[in-house]
Amino acid sequence: MAHPDAELNLIRGAYKEGIPHMVPFQVSFPLDDFMKEAGKGQDNFYQVHFYNEKQLAEAPQFLKNVEKNYKNVKAVFINVDLPTIGNREKDQKVRSLLDPDAEDALSSFAPATADLKVITWDDIIRIKNSTNLPIALKGVLRKEDVLKAAEIGLGGCIISNHGEVQT
């Protein structure tokens, strides 16, 4: 929103500094166009979450396409800490002070009524078995979930309080 190139600057900057980039599921450009900006030899990760049952059902085919078409994607991170969008009053107050017209525009990115699909361990196993890419969970809060992820052979976990911000 702050620059016409939006996230393109992030993947370019990550390449310039020699660090992997976490490609967002909700990128501002068509994925093909965005991934063309990845530098030669740049390793990236792909972050995904599921808004509805249809996206979850189509996840295996979607990830097969990512694996086939974007060779620089080395792992997939599934967001597991964001089943609903919180009120986030503090963020809204700060944004409205900076730009009184921003609130309507911001609600298109995260409407208060948004409810993301809650996924199960069976869903994670099905997704894991559908791709050769390592699957990691992003947003794990409990050690029991980390242990379960290891038990089923996931590639890792990122402990995060991203979902906690939603309260």
Strand order in the sheet with 135-140: 21-23, 44-48, 73-79, 135-140, 156-159
- The set of catalytic residues is 162
Tokens of 92: 């809204």
φ and ψ of 14, to 5 deg: -60, -45
Q: CA 25 to CA 38: how far, in whole Å?
A: 15
Measure Cα distances from 136 to 30, 78, 145 in Å: 24, 6, 12
Note whether 111 and 48 are within 8 A (CB). no
Tokens of 55: 């996206």
Q: Which residue has the tokens 């597991």?
A: 80
Note whether 135 and 75 are within 8 A (CB). yes
